[in-house]
Structure 1
Amino acid sequence: MAANQLAVVTGASTGIGLELARCCAQVGFNLVIAADETAIEGVAVDLRRFGGSVEPVETDLATIEGVDKLCAAIADRPIDALLANAGIGLGRAFLDQDFQRIRHVVDTNITGTLYLIHRAGNAMLRRNSGRILITGSIAGFMPGSFEAVYNASKAFLDSFSFALREELRDSGVTVTCLMPGATDTEFFRRADMMDTKVGTEQKDDAYEVAKAGFDAMLRGEADIVTGLKNKIQATVATITPNEMLAKQHRKLAEPGTAKS
């Protein structure tokens, strides 16, 4: 099905992005994979065993220059699937956070993602063909006390994905939003949240989350919330006052809430 088709996966060095790239490779996509870590080179070596071409690009997708570097690596090749997954988190109270780290979350999760989708999406629209998968989160359904900027960034992406999908409704380009809950990746360690309840409790398997999102993208669905617990949580969040949701999130993400 995907023979000679090109998929671009961002944030592909670890976690959900790595597993999304694996899903692409398993069905025969050629790949361009990007991350801001040298580990992306090793990922490319591993994924080539599935038989397709895999080109790694080490670049900082929080910057315009970093996105331009990725686009230059793709050159004029048509992108059949863009899996916009690059993202980072940041725990602790907003006023205690270093503003440069706050800015990096916004630039990675929102600005860089939008710029890449704008460039790739225009090329898809000219061809009237393509699939876009955006990694949002059920975190976007609730005010994220002690994770405020991250949750707000995911609320932005969740909303944006549905709006873009509607704008492209009469074209051959589909947009799908993957909205997982807490997933077993490096996310919480990197976000400095290993002393929190959400950082230390059991999480969903990254490959299962990625496979659900990948399959939803291939089907052209609008969105997928992975896992029954997360589906229930997302549904409840739509009818719960935001003030109460913020209090509930505090119990998950406030430093010191990890079980001893």
Structure 2
Amino acid sequence: MPFALITGASSGIGLELATLAAADGYTLLLAADRPFDHALANLAGAPVETIQVDLSTAEGVAALDERIAGRRVDVLCANAGHGLGQGFLDQDFAAVRNLVETNVIGTLDLLQRVGRRMRDQRDGRILITGSIAGLIPGAFQAAYNASKAFLDNFSYALRNELHDTGVTVTCLMPGVTESDFWERAETTNTPAGAGAKDPADAPARAGWEAMKAGSAQVSPGWLNTLERAILHIVPDRAKAELNARMMRPNDKAQVHD
């Protein structure tokens, strides 16, 4: 059976990716920094291993790598990550550091470890969960948007480097999605956090299918496609204010130029 490693798999898009992988007959190794609890109900009967591990640390990435135990990895879904609300100067810097080390440093560490093996085996599929947010200066979630901009950009670079190796890299760029992201980032008191969201299964399916096809990127849904097109022509100052209007906590009504 083919083998898939999925991070951030205890909820949201990661759990939906695990469900899709199980349906396609993959053996699964699922990683998350939170307990899986009842998240695996939809995977009943599938060969699944789980590990609760902190991928913001070198030790956590090494522990996950050790659990691979020399197996050939056919699919890597690098989905682990979290957000952080409030203005940057009001955030606890330890939380900012953890965000960067989870979303960026830990992701790159794992990608390099597994990607080298895929390159050696001349085959593999990598799906990186970026975000539409990476296209927008993220007022009131500045570090998060910047981390996703890094991943969006990095995925294209890595794809180019691997273009003749049999390994493909796909960037999933979802929009506002239903998950525990909002509670964990303490952003439920924002217009985006309190508003309508896409169900997690929609971007997960779009990403999974794009990955299998070897596509460079996917922004699921026509609204996301339209948003991407518009963002290319909107000035950065206006994009930052747009993000502020969606992510400013409701108790902070002021607008800054």
Is the Cα–Cα contact under 8 Å of residues 197 and 257 in structure 1 kept in the other structure? no
Matches within 5 A, 1:127-138: 127-138=121-132
Tell me, what secondary structure is at the counterpart of 2:39? helix
Q: Structure 1, residues 29-57: CA drift from partner, whole Å, max 9, x if none?
A: 00000001122x6434x2542x4310001
Is the Cα–Cα contact under 8 Å of residues 139 and 154 in structure 1 kept in the other structure? yes
The Cα of 1:233 is off from its aligned counterpart by 1.0
| Equivalent residue number for residue 166 of structure 2 | 172
| Equivalent residue number for residue 253 of structure 1 | 247
In structure 2, distance between residues paired with 1:212 and 1:218: 10
| Equivalent residue number for residue 8 of structure 1 | 5
1:233 matched to 2:230? The reply is no
Matches within 5 A, 1:97-176: 97-176=91-170
Structure 1 runs (4+) deviating above 6 angstroms are none
Q: Structure 1 pair 130/66, CA: closer, same or farther in 2 (3 Å)? A: same
In structure 1, distance between residues paired with 2:131 and 2:168: 19
The Cα of 1:144 is off from its aligned counterpart by 0.4
1:43 matched to 2:39? The reply is yes
The aligned amino acid for 1:188 is W
The Cα of 1:221 is off from its aligned counterpart by 0.3
TM-score, L = length of structure 1 = 0.94
1:32 matched to 2:29? The reply is yes
Is the Cα–Cα contact under 8 Å of residues 144 and 250 in structure 1 kept in the other structure? yes
Matches within 5 A, 1:38-77: 38-39=35-36, 42-44=38-40, 46-49=41-44, 51-77=45-71
Tell me, what secondary structure is at the counterpart of 2:50? strand
Is the Cα–Cα contact under 8 Å of residues 90 and 149 in structure 1 kept in the other structure? yes
In structure 2, distance between residues paired with 1:43 and 1:185: 13
Is the Cα–Cα contact under 8 Å of residues 47 and 54 in structure 1 kept in the other structure? no
In structure 2, distance between residues paired with 1:257 and 1:200: 14
| Equivalent residue number for residue 206 of structure 1 | 200
Is the Cα–Cα contact under 8 Å of residues 19 and 43 in structure 2 kept in the other structure? no
Q: Structure 1, residues 46-90: CA drift from partner, whole Å, max 9, x if none?
A: 2542x4310001100111110111110111000000000000000
Tell me, what secondary structure is at the counterpart of 2:218? strand
Q: Structure 1 pair 47/74, CA: closer, same or farther in 2 (3 Å)? A: farther
Q: Structure 1 pair 48/232, CA: closer, same or farther in 2 (3 Å)? A: closer
Q: Structure 1 pair 48/207, CA: closer, same or farther in 2 (3 Å)? A: closer
Is the Cα–Cα contact under 8 Å of residues 16 and 204 in structure 2 kept in the other structure? yes
Tell me, what secondary structure is at the counterpart of 2:205? helix
Give 5+ residue unaligned stretches, structure 2: 253-257
Tell me, what secondary structure is at the counterpart of 1:205? coil
The Cα of 1:235 is off from its aligned counterpart by 1.1
The aligned amino acid for 1:131 is R
Is the Cα–Cα contact under 8 Å of residues 6 and 76 in structure 2 kept in the other structure? yes
The Cα of 1:257 is off from its aligned counterpart by 7.4
- Kindly report the root-mean-square deviation, in angstroms, between the aligned alpha carbons of the 2 structures: 1.2
In structure 2, distance between residues paired with 1:223 and 1:48: 27
In structure 2, distance between residues paired with 1:47 and 1:197: 31
| Equivalent residue number for residue 23 of structure 1 | 20
Give 5+ residue unaligned stretches, structure 1: none
| Equivalent residue number for residue 255 of structure 2 | none
Tell me, what secondary structure is at the counterpart of 1:194? coil
Is the Cα–Cα contact under 8 Å of residues 145 and 249 in structure 1 kept in the other structure? yes
